[in-house]
Structure 1
Amino acid sequence: MRTRWILAVVMGLLLTACSSDDGTSDGRITLRFQSLAWQEESVDANKELVEEWNAAHPDVKVEYVQGSWDSVHDQLLTSFEGGEAPDIIHDASDDLADFAYGGYLADLSELLTERLKSDIPQRSWETATFGDGIYGVPFLQEPRVLIANAEWLKESGVRIPTPENPWTWEEFRSIAKELSGGGKYGVAWPLKEPVSATLNLSLSTGGQMFHRGEDGKVTVRFDAADEVVPRTVHDEVNTDGSASTTTLGMGGSDTLPGFFGGKYAMVPLGFSYRQQIVQQAPKGFEWQVLPAPAGADGLTQGVSPQTLSVAEDSPHKKEAAEFIDFLLQPENMVRLALGDWMLPTGTEALKDPALHTTKDDWATGTALAAHLRSAPAQSVRGYPEWKDKVATPAFQEYYSGAIDLDELRKRLVEDGNLVLARYQR
């Protein structure tokens, strides 16, 4: 009996040793990849790449898990705290700070290949760098552009801007006024969530909003450069009558019926909205992509790229990083970008001819890639609370005309710094 008991213990230990490295009985490693792709083309591209990886790597299987942008932050937080986080995590760079500082994400600095590190520009890496570590690989980015009624602009005779010769903010305001009248508006600003759009576009005028002192603490300032974009929007709505008041509370998609119906000449939207326009525009409707207006710093604007991260608790970080490297090979990055109607971050992928066509104005968006920078609030602790409790209501009231510029400044700075101070003690 004692011999049988010893043999059973030994066999149990051997089985445990064989399965502890991969969690499977057949010796294969299984990685869970949670993707937030939602458009059909994007989902298909992601699933196809997972299948191609699995076919070429029989010992490291990747399991595709569908996530949702609507609930990803809370869902990830729950999975991290419950020890059930996916190995490979698709998210956005502006959602990573709390997870990175909280120890939930792996530092990828020593896990990434030199090819991938050198292919993605430093300005993009900065969006996923927190402290001394890299906690995500930025791979898709989206400039904000003007989607315009091409026929309306052509008939008006206004100068059509290009990435090489864009409108200034002053010129944009003047042209929006020129295009208005008879119950129609030169521009529709969909600003249901006004903060990121305002801050990101304000980089073109030199606006920063957040300033880090020598002690490392961040404070809010609202200087002359920060005023240009919000003042332009406010004056178009409340002084010129060139922007519709009703669209201020809308999301981007909500403005499309009015745009197609000839109510607005231009709508500032993310570059990926082109897909919805292609699918929904009435037959014969002519549209075009224009660069956002330029300020003292040219076409510069802030972005929060989509990212791929690895969970700190993953027992297979090396293999997860290898899958990310495969997923972001230049030709694969192009496939993901085309599927999402966005721009890749990789310099090699950006050279692909498919991203330089006049069809659907890919070339206009690609020309803006070099001007994209880390969003101003990217690494600011306490930003979500500042945005939700202070900045969003303040900007909404200012844009509607309920408060003036001085009151906006007071709220953003005084109330905002009280919020940030709690996170920097």
Structure 2
Amino acid sequence: MRRAVLVAALAAGLLTGCGSDPGGQGDGPVEITWWHGQVETQAKTIEQLAADYNKAHPGVRIVPAVGTTNVDDMLQKVQAVLAGGKAPDIAYMYGTWMPHLAKNPKVYDLTATVKAPGFGWDDFWPSERAVSEVDGKVVGIPAVVDNLAVIYNKKLFDAAGVPYPGKDWTWDDFRDAARRLTKDGVYGTAYPVTGGEDTVWRFWPMIWQQGGAILTPDGRKSAFDTPQAAKALDLWSAMARQDKSVYLDQNGEKFLPLFQSGKIGMIVSGPFALLDVIDHKVDYGVQVLPGYDSNHETIAGPDNWVVFDNGSRRAKAAADFLTWLTRPEQDARWTLGLGNLPIRKATTALPAYDTFVKDFPDMDVFTANLDNAKQARPAVPVYPEFSEKVGDAISRALVGGTPVPQALTEAAAEADRVLERAR
């Protein structure tokens, strides 16, 4: 939902790769198919990592798959080959898919892998572990992690005489800055109102910061039709409809280019946005999200490597490979080398991290902000459909002017029906 286009393998190549298992359960080398979904520089890094592992582990052959299918279809692609009795050994999966995958008996339980001495599961940030674990089962091992903060244009702040945001700023400060920045064809900020998860994940932290929740503790009912949610959505509605300080991006693809061209003063986004911002030579800064009552909680978006059980020998080999892949030295090559945040705390102690921060100024703000990611999105299989109801409510309030209480109440009723059908 939030980084450069990822790709899975072509159908023919996938099926060929799945069916190939030299020595499968025998004594020969074991072949592991890896649906990584990367292109260009990312794919080259993957191929080099696989080659290095293969060289050091002659009993295993890691085979990265390549192709042109968007990763958004990865879950559907995997389910299709599972129905035919075949599956990759490792696949890249969005974190929001973990509750759904946890119910599939073909998904290999990685609990013993991450709890093994020397793995360092506690070295991963809590928000990553929370997404990886479903009902006590570790469904995936983190592949990529990000979070939301505010990226701002220093030149526009200076021109408007607005102080740069500080670590203790509030949402009222955010609104005031956006209002003062809005002039001469410049919007103070932006909000993607696609109605999808890109809309919703920007909303959840504002509820958490006020002590609110998304679901009831038993997970059976929605819990977002509350004063906390109303306060958050009222703020954005007032900014959009009264202050006219918010660019409402209805396809979700315009606000970043507008920020890069100096037409938007600040955006709520993740570290993935900095690559393009730097390329466009924007004089930028990064600050944590504004807060309520000194709470600057954010949301993380971890994606995972998931292992499928194609027999104990292959599953064990795949898990061993992921143990190697996620060690700090390999993590630095895979994440830092591609402009992503480290997935492990120990990686920040490597010289490569110092280089990373020099190449991507203020990226260390995003890294430190992982400590502000204290909760994960609800671990329910129907979360994508549940999220759509909330996204639609936000869009109707900001674009259509639907009163906030009405939008939230209607969304809660629809979300509860989604949860009810899933029981």
TM-score (norm. length: structure 1): 0.85
CA distance in structure 2 between the aligned counterparts of 1:358 and 1:27, rounded to whole angstroms = 44
SS in 1 for 2:191: coil
2:237 partner letter: H
Q: Deviations over 1:87-142 (max 9, x none)?
A: 01211221121111132311111133333323224442111111121111124211
**How far apart are 1:310 and its partner, in Å?**
0.8
**How far apart are 1:33 and its partner, in Å?**
1.0
Q: Do the aligned partners of 2:89 and 2:307 also contact (CA within 8 Å) in 1?
A: yes
1:210 pairs, out of 208, 215, 222, with 215
- Match of 2:7? none
- Taking only the aligned residue pairs, the percentage that are identical comes to 21
SS in 2 for 1:410: helix
**How far apart are 1:20 and its partner, in Å?**
8.5
- Match of 2:45? 45
CA distance in structure 1 between the aligned counterparts of 2:142 and 2:371, rounded to whole angstroms = 15
Q: Do the aligned partners of 1:46 and 1:336 also contact (CA within 8 Å) in 2?
A: yes
2:299 partner letter: G
**How far apart are 1:172 and its partner, in Å?**
0.3
In the alignment, does 2:297 pair up with 1:300? yes
- Match of 2:5? none
- Match of 1:416? 415
Q: Do the aligned partners of 2:151 and 2:267 also contact (CA within 8 Å) in 1?
A: yes
SS in 2 for 1:182: coil
C-alpha change, 1:228 and 1:115, in structure 2 (3 Å) is farther
C-alpha change, 1:173 and 1:219, in structure 2 (3 Å) is same
Q: Deviations over 1:263-299 (max 9, x none)?
A: 21112222111112233x1xx5422323221224622
**How far apart are 1:358 and its partner, in Å?**
7.4
**How far apart are 1:319 and its partner, in Å?**
0.9
Q: Do the aligned partners of 2:54 and 2:62 also contact (CA within 8 Å) in 1?
A: yes
**How far apart are 1:355 and its partner, in Å?**
4.5
SS in 2 for 1:197: coil
CA distance in structure 2 between the aligned counterparts of 1:396 and 1:403, rounded to whole angstroms = 9
CA distance in structure 2 between the aligned counterparts of 1:84 and 1:371, rounded to whole angstroms = 40
- Match of 1:368? 369
- Match of 1:291? 288
Q: Deviations over 1:369-416 (max 9, x none)?
A: 211234322x1232222223x223222111114311111121122221
- Match of 1:12? none
Question: How do residues 167-186 of structure 1 correspond to structure 2 at under 5 angstroms?
Answer: 167-186=169-188
C-alpha change, 1:297 and 1:138, in structure 2 (3 Å) is farther
In the alignment, does 2:258 pair up with 1:254? no
SS in 2 for 1:142: coil
C-alpha change, 1:20 and 1:261, in structure 2 (3 Å) is closer
2:327 pairs, out of 326, 329, 334, with 329
Q: Do the aligned partners of 1:206 and 1:297 also contact (CA within 8 Å) in 2?
A: no
1:75 partner letter: K
Q: Do the aligned partners of 2:127 and 2:376 also contact (CA within 8 Å) in 1?
A: no
Q: Deviations over 1:32-79 (max 9, x none)?
A: 1111234x3322222211111011111100000136323112112112
- Match of 2:266? 266
Greater Cα offset, 325-334 or 286-295: 286-295
C-alpha change, 1:82 and 1:199, in structure 2 (3 Å) is farther
CA distance in structure 1 between the aligned counterparts of 2:334 and 2:63, rounded to whole angstroms = 18
Q: Do the aligned partners of 2:123 and 2:345 also contact (CA within 8 Å) in 1?
A: yes
C-alpha change, 1:273 and 1:123, in structure 2 (3 Å) is closer
SS in 2 for 1:307: strand
Give the greater-gyration-radius structure (CA): 1
In the alignment, does 2:140 pair up with 1:142? no
C-alpha change, 1:222 and 1:355, in structure 2 (3 Å) is farther
In the alignment, does 2:97 pair up with 1:95? yes
CA distance in structure 2 between the aligned counterparts of 1:102 and 1:52, rounded to whole angstroms = 32
Q: Do the aligned partners of 2:141 and 2:305 also contact (CA within 8 Å) in 1?
A: yes
- Match of 2:160? 156
Q: Do the aligned partners of 1:237 and 1:243 also contact (CA within 8 Å) in 2?
A: yes
C-alpha change, 1:314 and 1:350, in structure 2 (3 Å) is farther
TM-score (norm. length: structure 2): 0.86
C-alpha change, 1:420 and 1:123, in structure 2 (3 Å) is same
2:325 partner letter: L
Q: Deviations over 1:173-227 (max 9, x none)?
A: 11100111233211122232312222245333333221223xx634333222223
CA distance in structure 2 between the aligned counterparts of 1:64 and 1:302, rounded to whole angstroms = 31
2:188 partner letter: G
1:27 partner letter: G
Show structure 1 runs of 5+ residues with no match.
1-18
C-alpha change, 1:354 and 1:244, in structure 2 (3 Å) is same
CA distance in structure 2 between the aligned counterparts of 1:336 and 1:302, rounded to whole angstroms = 22
SS in 2 for 1:212: coil
Greater Cα offset, 126-135 or 343-352: 343-352
Show structure 2 runs of 5+ residues with no match.
1-19
SS in 1 for 2:93: strand
**How far apart are 1:356 and its partner, in Å?**
4.1
CA distance in structure 2 between the aligned counterparts of 1:115 and 1:158, rounded to whole angstroms = 49
Over aligned residues, Cα RMSD in angstroms? Answer: 2.4
